[in-house]
Amino acid sequence: MLEASDSHPDIHWPSGFSPDQAHSFCQAQAVVHAPPAAAFALLADVTRWPDWVPGITGAWAGPLPRSFEVVFHGQRFEIFVGEHEPSRRLGWSGVGENVQLYQAWLFTAVAGGTHVVTENVVRGPAAKSLDALSPVWARRLNTLWVAQLKRLSESAPDQG
């Protein structure tokens, strides 16, 4: 199980959403053999998430310039972007029934591509229940999400 001290030092946590205040905290990372802009663009295209993000069956741009909605395993979430630094970082908070979350993404250029890190803090009764039933659920989800991002970024037409 990850501890708050395992959080990447460059993640910016909003008030009330640090890993030590979470009911669930997880991290996933990978080196993507594509430039940061390619991986970032894929993640930032929210309306395409149902095509590749595990558990997402619907996604819509919201009324605010930096808000959107997703359906994740049958539950609707309202998402508000807190950080948007193209090709470098993206972070959002989400609210669903009995659950709140903050997910942060970092994109760092490295030799041969991009080091991608995502961390997720989840709070609320639903998170407590899921964590009790399956303590590795969030880590598996984030690992699948990063694996899909890696696969699609590396297979983009301009990556050769």
pTM: 0.86
**Range of 89's domain?**
17-43+81-155
Query: What CATH number did the domain enclosing 36 receive?
Result: 3.30.530.20
Residue 96, domain member (yes or no): yes
Q: Is 146 helix (H, G, I), strand (E, B) or coil?
A: helix
Output the pLDDT for position 73: 86
Digit-by-digit pLDDT tens for the chain (160 residues) are 455 567 888 898 998 888 888 878 889 999 999 999 999 999 999 999 999 998 899 999 877 779 999 999 899 999 999 999 999 999 999 999 988 999 999 999 999 999 999 998 888 876 655 554 455 666 677 888 899 999 999 997 765 4
Residue 86, domain member (yes or no): yes
The distance in angstroms from the start CA to the end CA of the chain is: 38
Helix axes 125-133, 137-154, angle to 10 degrees: 90
Output the pLDDT for position 9: 85
Q: Is 110 helix (H, G, I), strand (E, B) or coil?
A: strand
Number of domains the chain is built from: 1
Output the pLDDT for position 160: 46
Residue 34, domain member (yes or no): yes
Phi, psi of 38 (to 5 degrees): -70, -45
How many Å apart are CA 78 and CA 131, to the nearest integer?
A: 22
Helix axes 137-154, 36-44, angle to 10 degrees: 120
How many Å apart are CA 151 and CA 138, to the nearest integer?
A: 20
Output the pLDDT for position 158: 66
Distant-in-sequence, close-in-space partners of 74: CB < 8 Å, separation ≥ 6: 57
